[in-house]
Amino acid sequence: MDIVDKLILRIIDRGEAHPTTTAAKELGVSRQTIAARLRRMASEHVIKAEGAGRGRRYALLPLLSVRKAYAITGLDEHRVWLADVAPLVSDLQPNVIDIWRYGITEMVNNAIDHSEGERVAVFIERNALRTTARVIDDGEEGIFHRIQRLMGLYDPREAILELAKGKLTTDPARHSGEGVFFTSRMFDSFSIISRDLYFSHEAASDDWLIDGEGEVTGTTVVMTLDNDSARTTRGVFDEFAAPAEYTFAKTIVPVRLAQHEGEKLVSRSQAKRVTMRFERFQTVVLDFAGVEEIGQAFADEIFRVFQASHPSLEMTPINMSEGVRNMVARARAHG
């Protein structure tokens, strides 16, 4: 498959109503040339075609779809990778293989060590543009409610904020708490579904979401990555490392994850929830995207009280609305 085929596939993938015309215009070739390529890719089962004439529609087809299930007792996550997943991505670029190795082994290991379930399944689906993996365990409690219980949190949604910060582990003797944090940033999209909560991260927009999904048994992790991704594991690790060090020293905190439905961020208790475990980092970037306003007490607790007791911690707010910027400036002026 050459670069022209891939460009045509991306046009199809973004849902263009008339992909033949759009591709011809974007690539500077005739519609007949594009139509011939579409016919060939359909015959090769790379895409499916439905309808006729200007109403003809195309969609990407899975090139492979594999599901493996395992008993958790005695399971080795690296053997899962070597035996069942690595062969499915072995033709991709080394940087992409490295990301898949990290994501699969980390998420399967989490299921082994934390789910308290009996079985875990790994489902891999790949098309011409991207690969998606699902790691599904049957643990009764689920990841968010387990973290809530072990950390004594008021609401399981607070567990999502803690996972987004990184360095969160309920078993510090065996885990650094870095797996979910780095995996969520290596993939184009990453999501966790457990019980009645859905948590996702999209790399392209650095956007985060919490939503209710109904009651889902166990925990499902979904990871998607472009087959031609230029991202590297080293690049992601370096982004959050201290200068001249290879340690996890920087985090980006999506503040809106602390804003539960119907709430405004106004209280000191909410601010303390946001700053929980900040002292484990050297640099904290507070991302206020999606937060229109904050209260005086909330801002004062973070940018005056907490900062005064942690003077060596660098805290940088970004994506502030005018209202948020004014409250942060006011708090810092009294520091």
User: What span, in angstroms and rounded, lies between the C-alpha atoms of 263 and 268?
Assistant: 14
Report the percent of the chain where pLDDT is more than 90. Answer: 67
pLDDT on residue 163:
87
pLDDT tens string 39-66: 999 999 999 998 877 778 899 999 999 9
DSSP three-state, residue 24: helix
For domain 3-60, give the fold. Answer: Arc Repressor Mutant, subunit A (1.10.10)
Question: Sorting pLDDT into bands at 50, 70 and 90, what band is 261?
Answer: low
CATH architecture of 64-234: 2-Layer Sandwich (3.30)
Q: How far apart are CA 122 and CA 105, in angstroms?
A: 11
Residue whose C-alpha is closest to residue 130's, from 9, 220, 233: 9
Residue 175 is which amino acid? H
Rounded-to-integer distance, Cα 201 and Cα 287, Å:
14
What's the pLDDT tens digit per position in 17-46? Answer: 888 999 999 999 999 999 999 999 999 999
Mean pLDDT of 243-270: 85
The pLDDT value recorded for residue 213 is 56
Beta strands 283-287 and 314-318, pairing class: parallel
| Among 16, 102, 98, CA closest to 59 | 16
Q: Where does the pLDDT of residue 269 fall: very low under 50, low under 70, confident under 90, or very high at 90 and above? A: very high
What is the β-pairing status of strands 283-287 and 250-254?
A: parallel
Q: Round to whole Å and give the CA distance between 308 and 72.
A: 47
Please give the radius of gyration of the chain, using alpha carbons only, rounded to the nearest integer: 23
Q: First vs last Cα of the chain: how many Å apart? A: 60
Domain boundaries, the chain: 3-60, 64-234, 240-333
Rounded to the nearest angstrom, the gap between the alpha carbon of residue 153 and the centroid of all alpha carbons in its chain is 23
pLDDT above 70: residue 75:
yes
Going by their DSSP bridges, the two strands 119-126 and 64-71 should be labelled as: antiparallel
pLDDT in tens, 309-330: 999 999 999 999 999 999 999 9
pLDDT of residue 17: 83
| Dist CA 81 CA 79 (whole Å) | 5
pTM comes to 0.87
The angle subtended at Cα 169 by Cα 164 and Cα 170, nearest 5°, is: 130
CA distance 328 to 312: 19
Separation between Cα atoms, residue 259 and residue 233, nearest integer Å: 31
